[in-house]
Structure 1
Amino acid sequence: MTNSEGSTYKRCGCRDQSGKRLGSQCPRLKRRNHTWNPNHGHWGYQLELPPTARGKRRQARRVGLDSQVEALDEIDHIKNLLNLASDDEDTRRSIADLVHTTIKSKQPLPSVEELTRKLKTGADIRAEVPTVATWLHEWISSKTDLARSTGNSYQSHIRNHLIPHLGHIRLDRLTVAHINAMWEAIDERNEDIREARESDDPTVRAAVRGMRITALPTKHRIRATLRSALTDAVSRPDLPLQVNVASHCHLPSEQRRRPLVWTEDRVTHYTATGDVPSTVMVWTPEQTAAFLDRARRHRLYALFHLIAHKGLRRGEAVGLPWANTRLTDHAIDIDTQIVQLGWETITSTPKSAAGQRTVTLDSHTATVLRTWRTTQARERLKSGHTWTENGLVFTQPDGSPLHPAWVTTLFRDLAREARLPPIRLHDLRHGAASLSLAAGVDIRIVSAELGHATTTFTQDTYQHLFPSVAKEAAEATAAIIPLHHQDTESA
């Protein structure tokens, strides 16, 4: 059947006795009433396309379609694509090139909307829609203004999770179901790692040594990376993406772990079982004092004193330059930090504006830092020409910077020698915040000196730790009411 500038036909793969294909002459293609037999053969079409740049004739041909209607629809679709060129012969020829190449490679034709978008933006109409992997590589390469730590995090998510699970999917065909399947696969791998760790077979345990569980907070960060990449893809007019599916996939809410204090009962339980009640633990004031008493015998006592009293982050403390200290004014300015990337370290600025701040020192802490400055000056004289000058407050005996991981190891060793229950070095910062609030320091001051963006975060995270503060507030409130009769507890 001929349809304007195109025709359809029906053929099959049957052969005669000599082995020759019957093609459109097979008697089984039609029924006895001369209508087409829907159970035998396939439809095809052919359509004359604009000639090549050299004037060579060519046709769009496709076979293997299920119905004549499908063949006619594709002919009309090709015509609609060609009509997008209007009277521009060069564009019409380029569209014909695209149609001819697409059909020859047995790929689906682009939609009118997709091709219109490419024509309007000046994009190469022959460029295929990228896969998720191709787009992620292009996207991360364009993010030249990222902090190195953020870039490394994105790269890790892309390399270890997004490309292995989603990379093969064409970008415009990515669905929420694909992303949910990735979460399920990650959960299964987590379970495999856990089971292997508990195996009686040492070779099985060895096989997963060093492998990490991908916990819920990491999943949220993986989704954030994908969502950011897809947001940029949606904004690209040359890409046929209209919905950011990463914004519609579900993950359980990320519950932030609030710190717990190492109370006497918790210490007793830990001593008996080895179980740590929470991933975030804080020492009592007495335990903090015991740690500092032990740390006082180490040359870097001032470092741990500063973190324990003022709540600096590890990177902020090891990256603090003397130029940012104003000991006469009892203040230090935080605007740099040393960040660990793998084992490599870099110096960078805090991530947020709130992180760049001034911290006020108490008189004792200022004195501790002055004493340390004198000690460091003696070390500089002793080292002579081998001294590494970098202007940092805390250094190795030869002036070289402290590696953040080395500081963490030293902290653990000192805490163990003090026979204290375990906390992370970062938990020393939590303790400083909690103790400041317990001492009655205004929460706005505590929040600002910690570098928090809001006081709400500070209050939700720390103010529950020392219930004596809440009890004192309750007693003070009750005392305001002038009761004439005071109840007493019965015996």
Structure 2
Amino acid sequence: MTNTDEAGAKRPRRAEPISKHIARNGAVSYRFQVDVGIRPDGTRDRQRFTFPTLAEARREYRRITTEVAAGAFVRRDSTTVAEYLSRWLDSRRDVRPNTLTGYRHSLKPVIEALGGIGLQHVRTADIDALVTVRLSGTPIRQRDKRGRRAAEVLIFLRERAEGAQYNEILAALGEPGIKSLDRLVASGGVVRIGRGRYVAVEPRDPQRPRVPGSVSPRTVVTMLVVLSSALDDAMREGLVSRNVARMVKRPTVEHHEMRSWTPEQASQFRHHVRDDRLNACWLLTLAGLRRSEILGLRWSDVDFDAGTVSVAQGRVVVEGRGTVTGDPKSKRSRRALPMPVDVLTALRTFRLRQAQERLAIGSQYPDTGLVAVNAAGSPIRPETYSSQFAQHAKDAGVPFIRLHDVRHTAATMLLDSGTTPSATAKWLGHDPAITLRVYGHVYDDALAAAGDALMGRSRITGEQKR
């Protein structure tokens, strides 16, 4: 098919809308425009693309139009890594404050090392280099991550005190140089001083912040997990086409066997605290409840008639905010547990004691409604509860373990007694898959017995069954 010009002459129809442009200095480039989507106001979002050669322009035109048609095209965006991650952290209203604090701590080295790079220009190699730095023994100064092309643009501009025109940069460095120029303008490394004229800006502070090293592989893996989650959201927002953090090989995390008490040691601790004022709380700890769940437990959550204790909130320490009361750790953490008689008896005794303390203090006694309060009625602080536990363990003559490790003790005892993994997980407020993965060692003997049973042998007697 052909088109007719004003003179009536026929000319072949151009297959691709790519135009040739010749600058005043003779530099040749090839341009095209593509509608890449619709803006929020309903107008077309048309972008112009420029390339130094016709072959590259044709190749990119086909790629871009194909991605636009498939809904996979990523619009050019000048958002930096620091800007996006800061915005992502501020938007995480779906996690507990303590969890959000952990996210900020994990992403801090990413922002320090890669924050000035455009989000769309971060490479797997950049993140891999950061992993190497974090694992190395000596802290090093942050490297300039703007890349070789950006360095070429800066050198080109610094050689010209009066700056350089857009067409000069395009002619000397091509389209890759123009892309780097755009990133440098967005990050403040280059300033546009006039129509199409740019100058380099010398950094005010040549000393770059340090990125600490000698951290554990587990810390690095946590950093990569949080970063991957943030980049997954960036993909869903259409800001990046792929998640480069998921392509980084994660360091191997050394497995450490968890520490726990034997049933005899747990019984020894229980006997030691039987006359302690917080005996009911220690029994709840031995029952596998988290510290935050015990400290957030209210008397209204204890149903003596039904014999249950409901986990409905938690109290945790949040950096910069102190102790905060909020939702439990997860949806599975919300649960109603039928408590043994001795736990319910200890709770009744504790409630009676608190009533006596309230009468002694009078109107000055705070009405918190919490179970875990001191003799003056004030909520017990998390660090105080942990330190008292450590002292009781020492006085009881049992091995020292973390307060959280008592949950491992409870889980092991439940599984060892024949409780199903699903029931154990529900009691602890866990995912059943996590329970099996973490506490699978409890089943070693049971699995060995199962194997013998298949061969018709009794593991107890070792004799062949007849």
- TM-score between the two structures when normalised by the length of structure 1: 0.62
Deviation at 1:8, TM superposition (A): 5.0
2:390 is the alignment partner of 1:412:
yes
Match of 1:318 in 2: 295
Q: Which residue of 1 aligns with 2:152?
A: none
The secondary structure found in structure 1 opposite 2:332 is coil
Q: Are the equivalent residues in 1 in contact too, given 2:299–2:371 (CA < 8 A)?
A: yes
Contact persistence 2:312–2:328 (CA under 8 A): yes
The residue aligned with 1:165 is: 113
| Alignment partners' CA distance in 2, 1:466 and 1:290 | 25
2: CA distance between counterparts of 1:357 and 1:482? 46
On the 8 A contact 2:133/2:139 being kept in 1, the answer is: no
Equivalent in the alignment of 1:428: 406
Residues 1:301 and 2:249 aligned together: no
Query: Aligned AA for 1:230?
Result: L
CA distance in 2, matches of 1:6, 1:191: 49
The aligned runs of 1:170-209 (5 Å cut-off) are: 170-189=118-137
Q: Distance in 2 between matches of 1:375 and 1:445?
A: 33
User: Deviations for 1:373-431, whole angstroms, at most 9, x for unmatched residues?
Assistant: 11111111122112111111111112221111111111111212223321000111111
How much has 1:242 moved relative to structure 2? 0.9
- Over 3 Å counting, the alpha-carbon distance change for 1:224 and 1:299 in structure 2 is same
CA–CA separation in structure 2 for the residues paired with 1:433 and 1:461: 10
Secondary structure of the 2:333 match is coil
Distance in 2 between the 1:218 and 1:189 partners? 14
Kept in 1: contact 2:272–2:396 (CA 8 A)? yes
Task: Please show how residues 4-403 of structure 1 align to structure 2 within 5 Å.
Answer: 6-8=21-23, 44-45=25-26, 71-72=27-28, 74=29, 76-77=30-31, 80-81=32-33, 129-158=78-107, 160-189=108-137, 214-237=215-238, 239=239, 241-254=240-253, 257-259=256-258, 281-308=259-286, 310-342=287-319, 344-403=322-381
- How many angstroms does 1:370 deviate by? 1.1
Long gaps (5+) in structure 1: 10-43, 46-70, 86-90, 100-110, 193-210, 260-280, 486-491
> Aligned equivalents of 1:213 and 1:347: distance in 2?
35
- In 2, distance between residues paired with 1:460 and 1:388? 43
Amino acid at match of 2:404: H
How far is the alpha carbon of 1:327 from its aligned partner? 2.2
| TM-fit CA distance, 1:235 | 2.6
Q: Measured at CA, do residues 326 and 478 of structure 1 come closer, stay the same or move farther in structure 2, by a change above 3 Å?
A: same
Task: Give the Cα–Cα distance (whole angstroms) in 2 for the partners of residues 356 and 471 of structure 1.
Answer: 35
8 Å contact 2:315–2:325 — kept in the other structure? yes
Q: Distance in 2 between matches of 1:390 and 1:484?
A: 63
- 1:328 and 1:128, CA in 2 relative to 1: closer, same or farther beyond 3 A? closer
Select between 311-320 and 462-471 the one with higher mean Cα deviation: 462-471
Between the aligned partners of 1:8 and 1:336, the Cα distance in structure 2 is 68
Q: CA deviation at 1:169?
A: 1.4
Rate the CA distance shift 1:297–1:169 in 2: closer, same or farther, 3 A. same
Deviations, residues 326-373 of structure 1 (Å, cap 9, x unaligned): 223221111211122126122222233221112121111111111111
How high is the sequence identity, in percent, across the aligned residues? 29
Instruction: From the superposition, tell whether residues 326 and 256 of structure 1 become closer, same or farther in structure 2 (CA, over 3 Å).
Output: farther
Cα gap change, 1:477/1:442 in structure 2, threshold over 3 Å: closer, same or farther? farther
Contact 2:328-2:334 within 8 A present in 1 as well:
yes
SS of the aligned residue for 1:130 comes to: coil
Q: Is the 8 A contact 1:314 1:426 kept in 2?
A: yes
Indicate if the aligned counterparts of 1:394 and 1:402 stay in contact, CA closer than 8 A.
yes
1:185 counterpart letter in structure 2 = V
State the alpha-carbon separation in 1 of the partners of residues 449 and 66 from structure 2.
Answer: 70
SS of structure 1 residue aligned to 2:336: strand
In 2, Cα distance between the equivalents of 1:459 and 1:178?
Answer: 37
Q: Would the alpha carbon gap of residues 468 and 377 (structure 1) be closer, same or farther in structure 2, given more than 3 Å must change? A: farther
1:324, CA displacement in angstroms? 1.1
Contact 1:190–1:214 under 8 Å retained in 2: no
Q: Conserved in 2, the CA contact under 8 Å of 1:434 and 1:466?
A: no
TM-score relative to the length of structure 2: 0.66
| Structure 1: distance between partners of 2:213 and 2:316 | 21
Q: Deviations over 1:130-176 (max 9, x none)?
A: 21112212222333343322322222223x21111111212111011
Say which structure, 1 or 2, has more relative contact order (CA 8 Å, 6+ apart): 2
Distance 1:321 1:233 in 2: 40
How many residues were matched structurally? 358
Counterpart amino acid of 1:245?
A: V
| Counterpart code for 1:406 | T
State the secondary structure of the residue aligned to 1:340: strand
CA contact (8 A) 2:260 2:409 kept: yes
| Contact in 2 for aligned 1:131/1:171 (Cα 8 Å) | yes
Q: Distance in 1 between matches of 2:425 and 2:20?
A: 74
Over alpha carbons, which structure has the higher Rg?
A: 1
1:282 partner letter: S
Give 1:319's aligned amino acid.
Answer: G
Q: Secondary structure at the match of 2:305?
A: helix
Inter-partner Cα distance in structure 1 for 2:252 and 2:438: 17
Query: 1:291 and 1:312 mapped to 2: Cα distance?
Result: 16
1:224–1:153: structure 2 CA closer, same or farther, 3 Å change rule?
same
Q: Point out where structure 2 has 5 or more consecutive residues left out of the alignment.
A: 1-18, 37-42, 51-59, 141-211
Q: 1:334 corresponds to which letter in structure 2?
A: V
Q: 1:467 to 1:234 in 2, by over 3 A?
A: closer
Structure with higher strand content: 2
